[in-house]
Amino acid sequence: DIDHLNLRVQKELVEWLNWLKADIGFDGWRFDFAKGYSADVAKIYIDRSEPSFAVAEIWTSLAYGGDGKPNLNQDQHRQELVNWVDKVGGKGPATTFDFTTKGILNVAVEGELWRLRGTDGKAPGMIGWWPAKAVTFVDNHDTGSTQHMWPFPSDRVMQRYAYILTHPGTPCIFYDHFFDWGLKEEIDRLVSVRTRHGIHSESKLQIIEADADLYLAEIDGKVIVKLGPRYDVGNLIPGGFKVAAHGNDYAVW
């Protein structure tokens, strides 16, 4: 175990981080198991090494109901993520992985897309509250891959990418999906849409519809994304929009 309260440990870790920055060329940090030490400690490392980007893994359990599924209201869960960023410094480079969105989407794509509109009418994860500080993802080395601890439904992975690559927040792409699953071209198309239309971490999200079999949202008035098996949505798409990407139960205009 590392005693992060030990001043010598702090000094040597800061020196190591600055060496990684200056000599090796790294410019961002990922804080593994960040719930295992205080945000005050993470703040020391960030303030004294000044990365351009930092993201924390704060993986805690969602609130579940008697049916074994996540409650619609996950405010306490996303508040934990917001609190960490607040303590480390909201004006700095600190962000957190949006585990709230991850957990809700895991279930939502199984015929419960209504979950993607929170009780306040916004996105139900951290991206609904503080998208500039939310790093969205489909799976990582813990949840998916060989560990498979909390995997996203494998036949619906591209629906998830259609969501995170069109929505606010900072999306990240899982190595396995891009290089091993044969999804490179589909993911590339979605990345191109995001880049071409300047969608960014604080883009404006308007949820048009959130039903069991349909989620439809407009981002910055430039991009519309549809998830779910419902096919006939033409009456909900404003004139002038053309399909830019599509696949199994998703489309992007």
Our answer to whether residue 32 is catalytic in this structure is yes
- Which entry of 57, 80, 112, 211 is annotated as an active-site residue? 57
Q: What share of the chain in percent tops pLDDT 90? A: 95
The pLDDT of residue 253: 98
**pLDDT given at position 2:** 85
**Do strands 53-56 and 28-31 pair parallel, antiparallel, or not at all (unpaired)?**
parallel
Mean pLDDT of 243-251: 97
> Over the chain, what is the mean pLDDT?
96
Question: Was domain 58-203 assigned CATH 3.20.20.80?
Answer: yes
Average pLDDT on 204-211 reads 98
- pLDDT, residue 234, reads 87
pLDDT at 104: 97
| pLDDT for residue 222 | 97
Show Cβ contacts of residue 5 under 8 Å, excluding neighbours closer than 6 positions: 41
Which is it for the CA torsion 178, 223, 136, 104, positive or negative? negative
Mean per-residue pLDDT, 76-81: 97
- pLDDT at position 146 is 86
CA distance 175 to 35: 25
Domain range list for the chain? 58-203
Q: How confident is the model at residue 1 (pLDDT cuts 50, 70, 90)?
A: confident
Query: What is the C-alpha to C-alpha distance for residues 126 and 135, in angstroms, rounded to an integer?
Result: 9
Higher-pLDDT residue of 1 and 161 is: 161
For 21-65, the pLDDT digits (tens) are 999 999 999 999 999 999 999 999 999 999 999 999 999 999 999
Which has the higher per-residue pLDDT, 148 or 158?
A: 158
Element (DSSP H or E) covering residue 192: helix 184-196
Write phi, then psi, for 210 (nearest 5 degrees): -145, 95
**pLDDT, position 195:** 98
Q: Has residue 128 got a pLDDT over 90? A: yes
**Closest Cα to residue 56, out of 71, 38, 69, 70?**
38
Q: Which of 32, 110, 120, 180 is catalytic?
A: 32
